[in-house]
Structure 1
Amino acid sequence: MYSKITLTLRHFAQSLRLMVGMPEYSTYVDHMKSTHPDRAIMTYEEFFRERQEARYGGKGRLNRCC
C-alpha cells in the first residue's frame, strides 16, 4: 500500500513539473545513457540553465510576443 501511494505521489509531482515546463533531469540522464552513450551528460545545474534558456530565451534575447 505504501509503495502504491509513493508511486502515485511521484507521478503527480512529475505531472506538475511538466505542466509548468520543468523537465525531469533523471529522464534526461536515462535518455543520454541509452541513446547517446558516447556524449557527456550535463550536470543538473547545466541542464537547468540550458532548459531555462531554451524556454525563456537566453543571452539577452526575449522569446515572446509581447
Structure 2
Amino acid sequence: MNWLALSTRWGAKTHLFVRKHAPLRSFDPMISETLVEVMNAEGPQLHTHAVPKAVVKNATAV
C-alpha cells in the first residue's frame, strides 16, 4: 500500500483490486471506511469485489 500511495502521488495511474468490499477489512471499520473515501477522492482507483480469473505472464513486460 505504501508504494501504491507513493506511485499515485508521483503521477502514476494506479489501481488497487480487492476481493471484498474494502481494503484493510480486519482493521477498525473507521480506518477502512476512511481509506476508501480517500482513495475515491484522490486515487488510486479502487476496484472492489474483484476476483482474478487468471494471472498471465506478459513476455514483453519489464
- How would you bin the TM-score normalised by the shorter chain? 0.3 to 0.5
> Which protein shows a greater Rg?
1
- What TM-score results when the alignment is normalised by the length of structure 2? 0.32
Relative CO higher for 1 or 2, CA cutoff 8 Å, sep ≥ 6? Answer: 2
More helix by share: 1
More strand by share: 2
